[in-house]
Structures are given as structure tokens and as C-alpha cells.
Amino acid sequence: MKLMGTNPVLFKELKLRFRSFKSFNGMLFFLLAMCVFVFGYIFMTVTVSGTSYFRPSESFVLFAFLSYIQLGLVLFTAPGLTAGTISSEREKQTLPILLTTSQSSFQIISGKLLSSVAFLLFLILAGMPVYSLVFLFGGISPWDFIRIFLFLFVILLAFGSIGVMFSTLIRKTVVSMIATYGTMLFLSVVTGFLFIITMQMKMMNQTGTVVTPSYIGHFLASINPGVLFASFLSPGVRGMVEEMTKVDFPIWIGFLLFYGVITIIAILIAVKKLRVNTKRQK
């Protein structure tokens, strides 16, 4: 197997993606939207408070909003970039040509995945100068900044892998995108509702002074990106989850384990099924 640094599929995809004006136009509008939001928030806060300075507590609120904006960008963009990587090749009837080359299935899948991940990482890094304005006003530590971006990368890689997997398993790009976005909504929204319902049922069924840990509730909280980010931005959320579930286990470890396994399984399935589906189509 050739090294990842000499993956022709990856190089081709990067050239095609970064030579497109659509990519840079999308990046331009994203940065403009971030700038408008940041400076608009600062202007409104200073105007309402009647002061000429920006408080560290207000800077933390701005950091929290920007973190969730970046999370939303990853959750809604990663599936769209990866859910059509293989199915679009199949629809254009260029996949058989790609499979006749000397590239292995892993090189094809990893090249398609990493090109999409690289574009989103570039988009996130392009917004770092705007994002880092919060350091000018205090209230944010560099570790908070680094931790948010590390977990954004984990989320990006996991949902990107899921998109490539569905693109390999499903022949139609539209159906693949629906399946990928459905999985994303389930993991990021439905798990939050299930966590709330689980905790309510636990409190209703709890009798006397007997307190039993809710491992299901803790698992649902651990795999939800919104709950994880809330625990990073507010330590009280992490303590509240542990108090409600009675499970003394950091949710960020459960998050890494779950999405690490999901990423590996999705890539393995995509690699295994890439040539199988092509044979069946013939």
C-alpha cells in the first residue's frame, strides 16, 4: 500500500476543490458573516451597557456563540461534502475507470475523505483570526480555544466518514445525503431529547432514597456534540450531567471512544464495499 503522502486521489481532489471559485466564494461569505456577527455583537453590547469597554464575561459569551457556530458549520457541511464523493462518481460513470487504476480501495476512500476534511479544516482555520479576537478582551484561556478545535476535528472526521460510507453503500447521491443528514440529526439532536426523556423517566421511577446510576442517560449525553460543547464552555453542565446520571465518568472520554469507533467502522465498511457494489452493478 502506498503512503498517504503519495495518494494521487487525494492530490487530484485537493486540486479540483481548491481551484474552484465556489469554494473560495463560500469561504468569503462565511468569513464576512463571522465578522458581521462578532463586530455587531461587540457594538451592541457596548451600546446597551453604556460603557466604552468590553467585559471578559461578555467575551466568554461571544466565544460560546462562535464555538456553536463552528459546530453548526461542521455538522451541516461535512455530510454535504462527503455524502456524494463515491455516489457522484458512480452516477457520472467514472467510478469503474477509477477502480481500474493501481489505487487501492483504501487510497480511494481516504483520498475522497481527506480532501473534504482538508477543505473544512481550511475553512475553520481561515476563521481563526476572527475567532481569536476574544483573546483581546480576556476571559478565555488558550486551552479552551485548543480543546474546542480538537473536538471539532473529531466531529468533522466522524461525520465525514459516515458520509463516505453512505456514499459507498447507496448509489444515489440524494439518498446518500438524506441518510447522512438523518444520522447527523439523530446523533446531534435526537440524542439530546432522548437524554432529557431518560432523565425524566428516571426521576419518575425513582422511589425512596435508592439512587441508581443511569448508564443509558450518560451514554446519550456523551455522544451528543451539543452537550459536550456545553460542558466545555460551562463546567456546571458537566457536574449537572454527572449528578443526574450518577455516573462519575468524563463525557469527553465517552465521546472520543464512541466517535473514534464510528470513524474506524465507517471507513472499513466503505473500503470493503467499494468494489463489491461495482461488481453488483455490472
pLDDT at 276: 67
What are the Cα distances from residue 63, in Å, to 41, 50, 124?
11, 21, 14
- Residue 93 — left, alpha, or beta (φ > 0 → left; ψ -120 to 50 → alpha)? left
pLDDT at 28: 82
Cβ distance 78 to 113 under 8 Å?
no
pTM: 0.85
pLDDT at 3: 44
pLDDT at 279: 47
pLDDT at 33: 81
Q: Which of 110, 124, 46 is nearest to 82 (CA)?
A: 110
Q: Which residues, including other chains, have CB under 8 Å from residue 116's CB and lie 6 or more apart?
A: 13, 17, 78, 81, 82, 85, 160, 163
CA pair distance 90, 26, nearest whole angstrom: 26
Cβ distance 82 to 109 under 8 Å?
no
What are the Cα distances from residue 30, in Å, to 36, 71, 77, 151?
10, 14, 12, 21
In DSSP notation, 190-240 reads IHHHHHHHHHHHHHHH--TT-----HHHHHHHHT-HHHHHHHHH-HHHHHH
pLDDT at 64: 84
Q: Which residues, including other chains, have CB under 8 Å from residue 1's CB and lie 6 or more apart?
A: 104, 106, 107
pLDDT at 56: 65
pLDDT at 115: 87
pLDDT at 188: 92
pLDDT at 176: 92
The pLDDT tens digits along the chain (282 residues) read: 444 457 777 888 777 777 777 777 878 888 888 888 887 877 787 777 666 666 666 777 888 888 888 888 889 888 888 888 888 888 888 888 888 887 888 888 988 898 888 888 888 888 788 777 777 766 677 788 888 889 999 999 999 999 999 999 998 889 999 999 999 999 999 999 999 898 888 777 765 555 678 888 889 999 999 998 888 888 788 888 888 888 888 899 999 999 999 999 999 999 998 876 444 444
